[in-house]
Amino acid sequence: MTTAAPPTIPPLRPFGLILHHDGRWTHEGQPIRNRKLREAFDRGVRYLPDEDVFVVTLGRFRGQIEVEEAAFFVRSIDLATGRLMLSDGSEETLDPSTLVVSSRDGALLCRIPRAESATNVLARFDPGPHAELLLTAEADDSGISVACGGLRYSLPDAVVGELSD
């Protein structure tokens, strides 16, 4: 008696769900208007490093998504601790050395760790936390720095160059 091989899981493929650079979700070109569904998508974003893809999970459903720029968004920042509250409901500590400016529209981006990956992934600052962080900016002889977690951090030259344009 031979035993059948276990069924193989088909590779993930995009199914028309796009997470746009500004946090909007669309499916096959149509905007996702339901706020609760958008929030569920935000909470369900995961990175699969072995496949180098992002997916969204809802219950037992999992589907590959197209990400225009960043798969995670900084919804708020606690400047006293440097903690970022992210769109998936998680929190991370800001590493100011990872700050970059979006080539699309000048929004701040940073890299955040994900437990499932040795590679940090991009998170985009929403306008509120973006402004809040930049309100702490000060210029001195060594450049421009921001205050976060009780310390001052020099902004990378690329960020300073973009912000002064």
The fourth-level CATH superfamily of domain 14-67 is: duf1285 like domain (3.10.540.10)
Q: Give the mean pLDDT of 48-58.
A: 92
What one-letter code names the amino acid at 51? E
Answer for the pair 111, 98: CB distance below 8 angstroms, yes or no. yes
**Model confidence over 82-93: pLDDT tens digits?**
999 999 999 999
Answer for the pair 14, 27: CB distance below 8 angstroms, yes or no. no
Instruction: Report which of residues 163 and 93 the model is more confident about.
Output: 93
Q: For the chain, which residues make up each domain, given as ranges?
A: 14-67, 72-164
Q: Give the mean pLDDT of 115-144.
A: 91
CA distance 46 to 44: 6
Contacts of 26 (CB under 8 A, 6+ apart): 17, 18, 20, 32
